A and B are shown apart, each in its own frame.
Chain A
């Protein structure tokens, strides 16, 4: 297990280093200078332009720029935000916890719900009642529809229905402006939770639909295996067969999948944060891009890549805990 962990850590570090290089390469391959699209315009004095070029080391040879870029990224020096006049690292430190809260809640609810739903759908067979089989089929179709629906449409629909029409939840933000600071600690947490509900549910719905789809497939595969028939023949109660024998064996691949879902989920969180005005990294990223705040945008990409790599590492460790064979070399 220790060796596995060490190897996996080294692999993550390597992949992250490469990811920083890829970002650099893509930026340089894209047309235009990082500064050409930034806050500068035609009226900027050539001297100012030159000063900025030197500050961002754009007048240096490409290889030196690359070393500079990777070096400062590794040291966590992400430069100054052009639009906010503060170091990028500071700006991100303020918003990353909010994103982690939102995505963590969404992931947790989505994975738990998806596993439960998928396991139930996968366990419906010829012996279950006609009604429950029909409900299962119906829920599978709804799930497929959700999978085909982009995050921003789910988010907009949730916002329109639950916040704007029925006024059950706030239409955006993380706290009630003006009121929040005068509340007690418990009421404050409640306030954040109230604001968190809709965006987190949006993410949970999308994650859950995807997880359930894989979980029910795995469940069906496992239920067709001989040891399940053996367990049933021995007279093990059906609930125990499903949970202890089938679900436990069907869980491993799904946990790995949750790690693979992360990058697209971080992308989805960008839309969800933008729509619900959640003060997280995704919204900061969109603001940075519309405000042509290049250093902030790059910083957000690098930090989110780190988060994704960490999440993937976590998922692999969790899968190895669930199925120790994974940690012992070849799968």
Chain B
């Protein structure tokens, strides 16, 4: 009997702090503008309100256009996590399909598919994304697609290895003896067992996509202003980083906390799913 992913992963004792961080991040991303104390794109209109250090009225200070940084970080959460979520979905779909096909055949097709994965992994991902960005300005949607298109290769490796392992099991043989088709074997009998591994890979992939999106926006090649993302808030503060440290520190903390939380959850799940791969 294959345990469902939820059953495998439940009770693994995910670190509480990490769960808390992710819950807060999700809440903020979903509520967005409802939580922000000011309009994230409004100039306060008062002369001399640019680049104000943190105060009670503006706990994270204001930026060079007198916008409230706290509000921008809150609204930016939706873009940063949303782009991340969409790109991870794309990567999961592509990676699972690619890995499942490669894993369920012994023909030359498996070799070909995996060599393409090797090739994808040789090209540094940031550079590939930069080339895609050079074709023109990217909307958050396009950015998510580009991130997803470059995130699937590691996932397909995980899926292929698991499909190969599960293919040898008795229940698969039994189903085959009963005359189940290849597709049915894969979808009903093999993939459910791969799901926990996909969940782990997706969580860790989230942890790698968020800093990438922020990094591209930081370089001015990702999410375009005035739309706020954690990366482009930092970019706004980077020119005069000593005078405007609050524009760098707070979005940076948001990125680090989210990434660390995703890493912690992913590693804990991996320990439950794949005890031999534990890295502490």
A residues within 8 Å of B by Cβ?
A: 14-16, 18-19, 21-23, 26-27, 30-32, 34, 36-37, 140, 144-145, 147-153, 156, 159-160, 164-165, 213-214, 216-217, 220, 263-264, 266-268, 270-271, 274, 285-286, 288-290, 292-294, 297-298, 300-301, 304-305, 308-309, 312
Assembled-state Cα–Cα distance A304/B129 (Å): 14
Q: Which residues of B contact A266 (CB under 8 A)?
A: 124, 126-127
A263-B124, A263-B125 are known contacts. Are A32 and B135 too (CB-CB below 8 A)?
Answer: yes
Is B179 among interface residues, defined by CB-CB distance under 8 A? no
Sampled A-B contacts (10; CB under 8 Å): A15-B115, A22-B119, A26-B132, A31-B136, A34-B135, A151-B215, A152-B234, A160-B245, A263-B124, A289-B134
Q: Which of A149, A164, A263 has the most CB of B within 10 A?
A: A263
Interface residues on B, range: 35 or more
Question: A164 contacts B221, CB within 8 Å?
Answer: no
Docked-complex contact B241 and A159, CB < 8 angstroms: yes
Interface status of B121 (Cβ within 8 A of chain A): yes
Q: Complex Cα distance A288/B255, Å?
A: 27
> A263-B125, A297-B131, A300-B127 in contact; A149/B119 too (CB < 8 A)?
no
Tell me whether A301 and B263 are in contact (CB under 8 A).
Answer: no
CA distance A290 to B235 in the complex (A): 15
Is there contact, CB below 8 Å, between B219 and A271?
A: yes
Inter-chain contacts of A298 with B (CB < 8 A)? 131
Are B252 and A288 closer than 8 Å at their CB atoms?
no
- B127 & A285 in contact (Cβ 8 Å cutoff): yes
* A16, A144, A153, A216: the one within 8 Å of B252 (CB): A153
Pick from A151, A289, A293, A294 the residue with the most CB of B within 10 Å: A289
Of the listed residues A14, A145, A267, the one surrounded by the most CB atoms of chain B closer than 10 A to its CB is A267
Segment 199-230 of B: residues with Cβ below 8 Å from A:
207, 211, 214-215, 218-221
User: Does B259 make an interface contact (CB < 8 A)?
Assistant: yes
A26 and B149 form a contact (CB under 8 A):
yes
**Of all chain A residues, which has the CB nearest B129?**
A267
**Interface on chain A toward B: helix, strand, loop, or mixed SS?**
helix
* Contact yes or no, B124 A267, CB < 8 A: yes
Cβ of B260: which chain A residues have Cβ within 8 Å of it? 144-145, 148
Taking A149-B259, A151-B215 as given, write out 11 further A-B residue pairs in contact, using a Cβ cutoff of 8 Å, ordered by the A residue number: A18-B115, A19-B122, A21-B119, A22-B119, A23-B131, A160-B242, A217-B278, A217-B280, A263-B124, A264-B124, A308-B123
Beta-carbon nearest neighbor of A286 in chain B: B219
In the complex where A160-B241, A213-B280, A305-B122 touch, is A149 in contact with B256 (Cβ < 8 A)?
Answer: yes
Which residues of B come within 8 Å of A, CB atoms? 115-116, 118-128, 130-136, 142, 146, 149, 207, 211, 214-215, 218-221, 234, 238, 241-242, 245, 248, 252, 255-256, 259-260, 263, 278-280
Q: How far is the CB of A133 from chain B (nearest CB, A)?
A: 14
User: Is the Cβ of A305 less than 8 Å from the Cβ of B123?
Assistant: yes
Are A289 and B131 touching (Cβ within 8 A)? Answer: yes
Closest 10 CB pairs of A and B: A267-B126, A18-B119, A150-B211, A148-B260, A37-B136, A266-B124, A19-B119, A289-B134, A148-B259, A267-B124
Q: How far is the CA of A309 from the CA of B279 in the complex (A)?
A: 26
Minimum CB distance partner of A151 in chain B: B215
- Max count, chain B CB within 10 A of own CB: residue among A30, A145, A300: A30
Residues of A within 8 A of B215 (CB): 150-152, 271
A159–B245 Cα gap in the complex (Å)?
12
Contact between A140 and B280, CB atoms less than 8 A apart: yes
From A22, A274, A292, contact of B123 by CB (8 A): A22
- Inter-subunit contact A18/B241 (CB<8 Å): no
Which chain A residues border B242 with CB–CB below 8 Å? 160, 164-165
> Across the two chains, which residue of chain B brings its CB closest to A216?
B280
Residue in B closest to A213 when the chains form the complex, CB atoms: B279
Q: With a CB–CB cut-off of 8 A, which chain B residues contact A285?
A: 127, 130
How far does the alpha carbon of A81 sit from the alpha carbon of B38 in the complex, in Å? 46
Q: Is the CB of A288 within 8 A of B119?
A: no
Residue of B nearest to A27 (CB): B131
Name the A residues within 8 Å of B218 (CB-CB): 152, 271
Query: A141 → chain B, closest Cβ, in Å?
Result: 10
